[in-house]
Amino acid sequence: MTKTSTLLAAVAGLTMAAVAPVSAETSDKRIALSNNYAGNSWRQAMLESWSKVGDAAVAEGAVAAADAFTTSENQATEQAAQIQNMILQGYDAIVINAASPTAINGAVREACDAGIVVVSFDGIVTEPCAWRIAIDFRQMGRDQITYLNERYPDGGNLLEIRGLAGVFVDDEISAGIHEAAADSKFEIVGSVHGDWAQDVAQRAVAGILPSLPEITAVVTQGGDGYGAAQAFAATDRSMPTIVMGNRQDELAWWAEQKAANGYQTTSLSIAPGVSTLAFWVAQQILDGQEVAKDLSVPMLRVQQDELDAALEATPEGSVANVEYSRDDAIAVIEASQ
């Protein structure tokens, strides 16, 4: 892991056991990434991490190819066609960030029937033949309310910013938020889709604010916190507590506000480098290792006292991140057994 990744792993509380390298029998194997969307900083960081780790794996002879493909639209039909093309191209493994947990299952089944290893991550698929790697996104939603309960025992009004409509991750985080809010003194008084992008979130929040009462806090999904802050800053409303999603622009804004007025919040998300874990899990399966169908990774969190270190380690325009090595993947696999 890089120095940056090591630092952020510590921030996240992520500890990986040291595992001796194994001799891979996959030097002739080709792995492809099927990605459904690249329109925000998280997805860009995810693709950069894949390229960085995949290119190095090809250079060292661990695999023959680690190609990445992104659909032009976030459409399940387009991604299914992309996967079918990968089958025809003879890839040995396909790693998927899926547009839908169910809509591309037919294409995933076709890949499995062709003897191709399929590993889904972040946006996972439900087809039983595939492997899945994800954090507990519903818990990510619940954890935001837990944090706000500690800050505001008397509750208050919440604005919810959701992600891409129809995507598994969006549905799960939102469900967790609503479940926890129902057992609290908070009331969700408005909800908009920010598509995990700060510019979309800013426009959506600006559009709904005139119809809302005073907002105590904003619950989010990542990539939307900075946009929400800009929308509030353009009004005469007081700035609410905005839960952040580890994007550099969010962390930088938080640091500025912390220095200016002691602003407090928290930040949490899945690390974009989970794509590299999925890559190495696919490689290990191709290498003949036994791997549980469902693997989980912890959320990457940044707390108030960890903000400065996380911001320093996060490149401008990117996202706080952890990238995984093959040994890290082996440790995750062994922990699941």
How is 265-317 classified by DSSP, letter by letter?
Answer: --EEE--TTHHHHHHHHHHHHHTT----SEEE---EEE-GGGHHHHHHHS-TT
Confidence check: pLDDT of 86 > 80: yes
The token pair that represents 303 in the structure block: 């707390």
Q: What number does CATH give the domain 137-269?
A: 3.40.50.2300
Answer whether 3-135+270-335 and 137-269 agree in fold: yes
Output the pLDDT for position 68.
98
Confidence check: pLDDT of 10 > 50: no
Looking at residues 134-153, what average pLDDT do you find? 96
Q: Structural domain boundaries of the chain?
A: 3-135+270-335, 137-269
Query: What superfamily would CATH give domain 3-135+270-335?
Result: Response regulator (3.40.50.2300)
pLDDT tens-digit readout, 295-308: 999 899 999 999 99
Q: How confident is the model at residue 58 (pLDDT cuts 50, 70, 90)?
A: very high
Confidence check: pLDDT of 221 > 90: yes
pLDDT tens-digit readout, 224-259: 999 999 999 999 999 999 999 999 999 999 999 999
Confidence check: pLDDT of 44 > 60: yes
| CA angle at 326 for the pair 323 and 327, rounded to the nearest 5° | 100
- Ranking 126-130, 161-165, 274-278 by mean pLDDT, the lowest is 161-165
pTM of structure: 0.85
Looking at residues 137-147, what average pLDDT do you find? 97
Tell me the C-alpha distance between 62 and 283, whole Å: 8
Q: Among 209, 205, 208, which Cα is nearest to 195's?
A: 205
